[in-house]
Amino acid sequence: MYDAIVVGLGPAGAVTAAELARAGLSVLGLEWKAVPRYKVCGGGLSARIDRLLEPDFHPLIEDTIHAVRFRFAGTESFEVVSREPIAFMVMRDRFDAHLVRKAEARGVRILDNERVVSVSEGADGVAVTTARGWYRARIVVGADGANSVVARSLFAGRRGRLWGALEGEVAVPRIPSSLGAGAIALDIGVVPWGYAWVFPKEGRLSVGVAGLHGRERNPKGCYDRFVQGEPTLTGIEVPRGLGHPIPLYGGRPAERMPLATKRAVLVGDAAHLVDPVLGEGIYYAILSGRMAAVSIVDHLHGLTPDLTAYDAEVAREIYPEFRVAARMAWAVYTFPRIMHQALRRGPEVVRLYYDVLKGRETYQSFFAKIRGKAEAFFARLVREKAASVFSRGCSGRSR
């Protein structure tokens, strides 16, 4: 019997497992795919990741981002530059394998090519059944991503919001000059309720689209439209995109159901801990993994009666951030053209948002600083819209 079994060894699982082993617990990590495994992902780490991880992942950084080139449907381009890094680009197979190796070095027993098919929880432990056998532990951690078996087995009724996403990688001899060194391209005019991107890596570009399921029923059409219209990709043969859901935090009560039972916790994508503005999940996967590990260690050392401290910490540290982010996402993706024009006229707001990605501001402090501007902006917008409707109405009558 292990102290803990961690299901899934992406960033959330690898970091949780490493932290548990560091505290002296016996830990088994089960991963469906062979490590290193490919993951459909932009591989963009916001620069604040340095607050969570030791710097030994830096040799895996393929590009450091200092600028974002914003576009609306391939046009109306503008760039906002930052002196300090905003983000780091990694390939997920190498980055995730690095975290798994670190967990292994801390003493975690790693079994890859080991798909978990079901999990059950009893009074004295959990039983985890895989395609090859079964294992027992005192605690199970669901770090098995967007389609989590652990969530489905032990957290019945949990539902959340999903972004559909498609991404492709294309080899390039050099980064296109229309993108520029150390820059990414973001377009909020191609995908209804979402955005499209080009992220540079060493000798390749990651190209993708992500948008809300239900509103966008043709992500492939969006992807093709973006690839054809994005100036950075002119003359480049981009392969077709691979699909994967992004489990966003949406803020509805069903999405805020507990993340802990008596013997199980959910972390990362399995817990829908993805920022609703950008779909950034790696940072929160690692953050939630570390929070969960503290709570499990305290509980197994007899310091706390259960695992609810994890829930409480997510509710205290992450949900208030996501609630503000969800309001911002609503504004940006409901009025994409207007927001694009507003950001073009107000690059200082973009720079302040960069400070969130650098870890200098939180979403809450960011919003407090721009709130006055945002309210004045929307009030003016409503006045202008109303004026234009009335003037159209008057000219209609006079004709």
Ligand X SMILES: Cc1cc2nc3c(=O)[nH]c(=O)nc-3n(C[C@H](O)[C@H](O)[C@H](O)COP(=O)(O)OP(=O)(O)OC[C@H]3O[C@@H](n4cnc5c(N)ncnc54)[C@H](O)[C@@H]3O)c2cc1C
149 part of the interface to ligand X, by CB under 6 A: yes
Give the residue with the Cβ less far from ligand X, 274 or 342.
274
Q: Of the candidates 144, 216, 255, 313, which one interacts with ligand X according to CB under 6 A? A: 144
187 part of the interface to ligand X, by CB under 6 A: no
| Residue 276 CB contacts under 8 Å (≥ 6 apart), including other chains | 161, 248, 249, 250, 322, 325, 326, 329
Phi, psi of 38 (to 5 degrees): -75, 140
Q: How far is the CB of 173 from ligand X (least distance, A)?
A: 23
- Site residues for ligand X, window 332-391 (CB under 6 A)? none
Dist. CA 261–CA 154, nearest whole Å: 8
152 part of the interface to ligand X, by CB under 6 A: no
Tell me which residue of 295, 239, 233, 246 sits closest to 71, measured CA to CA.
Answer: 233
8 part of the interface to ligand X, by CB under 6 A: yes
40 part of the interface to ligand X, by CB under 6 A: yes
Q: Of the candidates 22, 37, 94, 152, which one interacts with ligand X according to CB under 6 A? A: 37
Dist. CA 391–CA 210, nearest whole Å: 38
DSSP secondary structure code for residue 156 in this structure: T
Contact map string, positions 272 to 311, toward ligand X, x by CB under 6 A? --x----xxxxx-x--------------------------
Helix (H, G, I), strand (E, B) or coil at 170: strand
- Site residues for ligand X, window 60-89 (CB under 6 A)? none
Give the residue with the Cβ less far from ligand X, 266 or 324.
266
The beta strand positions in 240-383, using DSSP E, are 242-243, 246-248, 264-266
Binding piece for ligand X, criterion CB under 6 A, among 42-50, 118-126, 173-181, 215-223: 42-50
314 part of the interface to ligand X, by CB under 6 A: no
Q: What length does the chain have?
A: 399
30 part of the interface to ligand X, by CB under 6 A: yes
Phi, psi of 46 (to 5 degrees): -65, 150
Q: How far is the CB of 399 from ligand X (least distance, A)?
A: 50
Give the residue with the Cβ less far from ligand X, 186 or 338.
186
Give the residue with the Cβ less far from ligand X, 29 or 377.
29
Give the residue with the Cβ less far from ligand X, 266 or 297.
266
The beta strand positions in 131-277, using DSSP E, are 134-142, 161-171, 183-187, 194-201, 204-212, 242-243, 246-248, 264-266
Give the residue with the Cβ less far from ligand X, 150 or 324.
150
Q: Of the candidates 4, 5, 6, 7, which one interacts with ligand X according to CB under 6 A? A: 7
Q: How far is the CB of 307 from ligand X (least distance, A)?
A: 18
164 part of the interface to ligand X, by CB under 6 A: no
Q: How far is the CB of 124 from ligand X (least distance, A)?
A: 23
216 part of the interface to ligand X, by CB under 6 A: no
| Amino acid code (one letter) for 187 | D
Q: Find where tokens 């009724």 sit.
A: 157
116 part of the interface to ligand X, by CB under 6 A: yes
Tell me which residue of 145, 129, 132 sits closest to 92, measured CA to CA.
Answer: 145
Binding piece for ligand X, criterion CB under 6 A, among 7-15, 121-129, 252-260, 328-336: 7-15
The beta strand positions in 31-115, using DSSP E, are 44-46, 63-65, 67-72, 75-81, 87-89, 109-111
- Site residues for ligand X, window 227-246 (CB under 6 A)? 244, 246
Distances (CA, A) of 343 to 68, 81, 188, 252: 12, 13, 12, 28
Phi, psi of 116 (to 5 degrees): -80, 130
Binding piece for ligand X, criterion CB under 6 A, among 41-49, 225-233, 331-339, 390-398: 41-49
Neighbours of 393 (CB within 10 A): 10
Which residues are at the interface with ligand X (CB under 6 A)? 7-13, 30-33, 37, 39-44, 115-116, 143-145, 149, 165, 167, 208, 210, 244, 246, 268-270, 274, 279-283, 285
